[in-house]
Amino acid sequence: MLLHALYDYAQRHRLLDDLPVQRRTLHALIDLKADGELRLPYLVRLSQTDEGGREALGMDYALPRFPGENNGGKAYFLAEGSIAVFGRDKKTGEPIPAPGADKKKKDKNPTKAFQYFWDQIQLAYEATGDARLAAMLGFKNSYLTEKNGRIECDLASLRMRPKDKGKKKGELEYVASTGADDANYIAVEKATFGFRVEGHPVTLDDESDPLRQYWFERFPSLAFADDTETTAGDDVPATARQTLCLVTGETGQPIARSHKPRILGVPGIAAGGYIVSFARAAPAFSSYGFSMGENSPVSESAAAAYGLALTALLKDEDQHINLGPVAICSWAKDTPHAGKQFQRLLNKAYPEHVGKFLRGPFAGDVERDILNRDRLYTVALAGNAGRIVVQHWLDQPLREAIDNFRRWWDELKIVSLFADSEKSTKKKRTATTELPPAPLAIPNLARVSLRRSKAQGDDRLVGERIVQLYRAALEGTAPSVMMLKPILDEFHSALVKDDPKKPTFPFGQSRFALIKLILLRNRKEGNFMPTPQLADTSEPAYNLGRLLAVFESVQDRYHDYEKKGAGVVERYYSTASSAPAAVFPLLCRLARHHLSKIRKDDASAANRLDGQIGEILNKFQPDKPGASPHFKRTLTLPQQGTFALGFYQQRAYDRASSLVRSNLRKARDLRNKKQSPDEPLTKARQFAQEFGYADLIAIVNSF
């Protein structure tokens, strides 16, 4: 059960211990004397150094968690934005209406938030007598006064100022001065303001602070109160009904009418959302006379625990990944590093890390028996109109997940069109944590499963396909064969943009690794089984793809590898991969014409190409001896994927062969000139070993 697993995670990590407190970013402090008067005529700017060594606006402090739910008209305790603290509109700087100024109308949310913020300060002061709160109230009485039905803020540090850069240069914005000169200021709109009294920030960082103890006692009555309009002094109790909690199995606990706090970090829901929610006005959410959370009873502590657990997982970069509209979290019960390890392997997929993992998963961290008894949890989340949708939930033995990942990696393996040694070495390789995901990482696999357009954007991902890939990796399921359609369509459209520097480059390793995986997982008994490298098989669709790649090589050689405009691939790939009988006889005749010219210039090259064509054509069974090869009339979608795979792997083999043979020719020329052939021979051996073709390795070894 998902909620029980999350509750267990919260208990193990003691997330409920500090529920009333959370880390928040303050951007400026109002510096006060003990009597509430300003110590400085401007605010104190806060900043900290980011990972890149640059100064970033804002500093994190332990501050009170939001009390309950913000249905409008509420505010944080101790620190807030311009409206709640100063009574000023955050964009225009206009004063907001004072509480009760219009007796005929209810106060609107800005006014309610202002009143709620300062009522909380007043209540806390009455309960604790804290001198810092007295200073804050003194500030309110001195600088925030009511005049003509409005809140007047008598602070010279708040003003309108023209923007001095950006597209909206010269446009007025509301700012707060943070220094004696005009150049020091921060924009008010997105800033959070706190207080400093006699040089000490008013926060809850000190665990022995009496104000912290007050808030821990005060928070439950606000956090678990019913969602009705309240002031800061109203403690509306949660439902009095007590029954069995579906998460913990405990009885006699107060049942949460709505599950709080909100879960933060799911894409598309900036303000947070809920997995379990209820609506008073919707009969579909109620039954047998129950209302709100009584329909699915979960105790207040259990509801808070699972919400905090998900928020913590979504905040931890090692335990979750955001892919377009989907966030996926992974964790294990007894193996702390398991969730982080799987996220790193699936979402970065650096071969060196994967190889080390497969040789000994979690080596040095856990014993073998723990792998057998521990469990891995994975949940995929997406937002939908303020609510969080669980797209998939996985609970499986950790050992099973490891075995499934091993199979996933083996089935994704495919030869690359480029060897690692060809890549530029000008840019020094940094730590792998700073590198982008490798070709077999799920983000790259998900991207190639989409048709791209300017309207959609290159980074738009479909949640359903992302979940399919995660399930395939950890559960061993088969991605839908229909996923081949957008992959092949995008490949065909990208063929005319053959540029490895562009994201549309058609021969990326990710695309064909995914095609291979889909074909393997959806393979029927006796059908062709794709391999990482060029396969020797009688599968017609695969050999048709190989044949088209060789025809392209013949045409390239015919034109001496110069730009020739649209070639056989650009012109005929679509028809060749779907209705081969309609085009391959024509391509065979065209290849014979090209070979006759090549033979005049380079007989050995012509013989090699002719031999490749003959070797592939022999795999097609003619209707009778001496008859022409028989080509299929049409190819199904899986067969079109097989065609593309054969085309790619033949192309990769031809390129590897060309690299090896060209370096061997250089080595032979050097040896004939009685010079050292070591450099090109070393390159030839390196290419042969990286690509891994046995025949090329044998050629190098026999040199």
Q: What is the pLDDT of residues 593-642, one digit of tens each?
A: 999 988 988 898 899 999 999 999 988 866 666 667 788 899 999 999 99
Q: According to the 3-state scheme, what is the secondary structure of 611-640?
A: HHHHHHHCCCCCCCCCCCCCCCCCCCHHHH
Residue 248, token pair as written in the block: 């913990």
Q: Which residues contact 300 (CB under 8 A, 6 or more apart)?
A: 220, 224, 238, 253, 254, 255, 256
Q: What is the pLDDT of residue 225?
A: 61
Mean pLDDT taken over the chain: 85
Encode pLDDT of 70-87 as tens digits.
667 889 999 999 999 999
Q: What is the pLDDT of residue 187?
A: 93
Which of the 8 DSSP states describes residue 117?
Answer: H
Q: What is the pLDDT of residue 35?
A: 95
pTM above 0.85, yes or no: no
At 177 the three-state DSSP class reads strand
Q: What is the pLDDT of residue 548?
A: 95
Q: What is the pLDDT of residue 289?
A: 65
Q: What is the pLDDT of residue 294?
A: 74
* Higher pLDDT among residues 232 and 657, named by residue: 657
Q: Tell me what the mean pLDDT of segment 378-401 comes to.
A: 89
Residue 424 clears pLDDT 60, i.e. is over it: no
List strand residue ranges (DSSP E) for 624-703, in order. Answer: none
Where residue 406 falls (left for φ over 0; alpha for ψ -120 to 50; beta otherwise) is alpha
Say if residue 163 is exposed, middle or buried (CB neighbours under 10 Å; 0-12, 13-18, 19+): middle
Confidence tier at 456 by pLDDT (50, 70, 90) = very low
Q: What is the pLDDT of residue 369?
A: 67
Q: Which residues contact 415 (CB under 8 A, 6 or more apart)?
A: 532, 533, 534, 649, 652, 653, 656, 691, 692
Q: What residues pair up with 378 in beta bridges, in sequence order?
A: 330, 394
At 258 the three-state DSSP class reads coil
Encode pLDDT of 457-490 as tens digits.
444 567 788 889 999 999 999 999 999 999 999 8
Say if residue 560 is exposed, middle or buried (CB neighbours under 10 Å; 0-12, 13-18, 19+): exposed
Backbone angles phi, psi at 197, to 5 degrees: -115, 120
The candidate with the shortest Cα–Cα distance to 405, out of 380, 432, 376, is 376
Q: What is the pLDDT of residue 178?
A: 93
Residue 422 clears pLDDT 70, i.e. is over it: no
Q: Which of these ranges, 42-51, 329-338, 460-469, has the smallest mean pLDDT?
A: 460-469
- How many Cα atoms occupy the beta-carbon half-sphere of 650 within 13 Å? 26
